[in-house]
Amino acid sequence: MGTLITSISGIRGIVGDGLDPESIVKYTLAYSKFIGSGKIIIGRDSRVSGEMVKQLVTGVLVSNGIDVVDIGICPTPTVQFNVSKLNASGGISISASHNPNQWNALKLLNQTGQFLSPEEYNKLMKIFEENQKSFKKWNELGKIIEYPDGLKNHIDEIFRLGFLDINAVKKRKFKVVVDCVNGAGAFCVPEFLRKFGCEVTEINCEKSGELVPNPEPLPENITNTLNEVLKNKSDLGIVTDPDVDRLILITDKGEPFSEENTITQAVKFILSKKVGNVVVNLSTTRAVDDVAEKFGAKVFRSPVGEANVVKKMKEVNAVIGGEGSGGVIYPQLHYGRDALCGIAITLQHLSEFGGSISKLKDELPKYFISKKKIEIKSDPALIQNKLLKEFKNEKVNTEDGLKIDFDDHWVHFRRSNTEPIVRIITEAESKTEAEKFSESYLSLINKLQ
């Protein structure tokens, strides 16, 4: 029997081995009880199983008297945006993000178009555990509304953003290689770029429903795209994950811009327009702090996860936020990671900067992150407590695992919710130093076990 991974980020599993019709119906039923009434925005990424999942989800919602507004294949941020735009009671984006073809997921949204807060998630799970099966009569059923303008709503609003000077961007006539891993981005990103006057070369923009074998846009998975940027003499490369909430950039030299730099350059650009608070998660690069300091802005840190970043952004009224995974959150548009918005910020930033994206990268603070994981033989919580004692005199944060800030580096220890492992994220001013610190923490954990 397969397993499901359930969290505030959604309900995720392998189709037919954990994420089966029974589990989809049960979780959607609990969500329908959680929502109560109104209408729900439904969108999905391009994967083959998406239509099957959508049909099941739609049937359950309608049977509970909830109207379904189907906006088709589109980015997760498009679903989020339209929940607010259309005054819906919630939304479901059917996508397993960067997971491969055999996976799918229900990304559950509240009435503001954001992922469920921890409190909302706990309420949903309580309803799920109660397992009350009650459905509406034939004359109380919800309606299914096909709504083809969801993506248009989202893109139109991006082009209305105050910082955007479309004519200035068009003058640059950027040559762009775009790789959508055959995901939802194939249905919007190339055309979106052409609206900016870009000359677009498409890679993995097929609409067959079959994602590339390794759809997580890590450097090792996009070597062909890196080479194409160089071969094509393009100004930049753009890669999106299957549901277009993460933005990965490639320089004109055919090198990774780095996902940490995606959010760093976005913060730099937005703060140049309006100084205000910034929120990133605890595992995001220190470069954001350096950039913010130059503008006299303050950086706040949240636990990892979009819902946590958004919660903190609202608390401190942040002007920009995001995560080092390539997730840019610009609250003037909506509170969610949004690669389309990230692309707009990047193109405007480049047009005002005047130089190449590799030169823009050179002007950002330079840090290097090392990521490792270690299997824990005992209770991971005990290891964390031992680490806390070890570093009790340092600058520590225990909101999400254990983050320790030193002058020359930082380390973040995070327990996995699904495996008996601890992740070790370390950042320093050189790759050698980051690796050296990482290895020392691996050795320390082995000693503490």
Domain with CATH 3.30.310.50 in the chain: 368-448
Closest to 269 in 3D by CA, of 381, 390, 351, 184: 351
Give yes or no for a contact between 384 and 421, defined as CB atoms under 8 angstroms apart.
Answer: no
What does DSSP say about strands 175-179 and 368-375: parallel, antiparallel, or unpaired? Answer: unpaired
Question: What is the tens place of the pLDDT at every residue in 419-431?
Answer: 678 899 999 999 9
Minimum mean pLDDT range among 16-30, 283-297, 341-355, 406-420: 406-420
Domain with CATH 3.40.120.10 in the chain: 4-149, 159-362
pLDDT in the model for residue 247: 97
pLDDT in the model for residue 377: 80
Predicted confidence (pLDDT) at residue 1 exceeds the cutoff of 60: no
Predicted confidence (pLDDT) at residue 165 exceeds the cutoff of 90: yes
CA 443 centroid distance within chain: 32
Considering 97, 283, 302, 351, which one is annotated as catalytic?
A: 97
CATH 3.40.50.150 fits domain 159-362? no
Amino acid letter for position 340: L
pLDDT in the model for residue 3: 80
97 catalytic residue (yes or no): yes
Architecture of the CATH domain 368-448: 2-Layer Sandwich (3.30)
Closest to 279 in 3D by CA, of 312, 324, 246: 312
Instruction: Could you please state the CATH topology (level 3) that the domain comprising 4-149 is classified under.
Output: Alpha-D-Glucose-1,6-Bisphosphate; Chain A, domain 3 (3.40.120)
Predicted confidence (pLDDT) at residue 337 exceeds the cutoff of 60: yes
Structure tokens at 174: 């950027």
Report the percentage of the chain scoring pLDDT > 90. 90
Angle at 431 between CA 425 and CA 436, to 5 degrees: 65
CA atoms of 211 and 194, how far apart (whole Å) = 23
CA atoms of 397 and 382, how far apart (whole Å) = 17
**Secondary structure of 329-342 in HEC code, one letter for each residue:** ECCCCCCCCCHHHH
Strand spans (E) along 264-347:
278-281, 299-302, 320-323, 327-329
pLDDT in the model for residue 365: 97
CA atoms of 98 and 88, how far apart (whole Å) = 27
Amino acid letter for position 230: L
pLDDT in the model for residue 201: 98
The predicted model gives 219-237 an average pLDDT of 96
**Secondary structure of 19-70 in HEC code, one letter for each residue:** ECHHHHHHHHHHHHHHHCCCEEEEEECCCCCHHHHHHHHHHHHHHCCCEEEE
Give yes or no for a contact between 240 and 262, defined as CB atoms under 8 angstroms apart.
Answer: no
pLDDT in the model for residue 417: 65
Q: Please state the pTM of the whole predicted model.
A: 0.95
Model confidence at 90, pLDDT cuts 50, 70, 90, reads very high
Question: What is the tens place of the pLDDT at every residue in 180-221?
Answer: 999 999 999 999 999 999 999 999 999 999 999 999 999 999
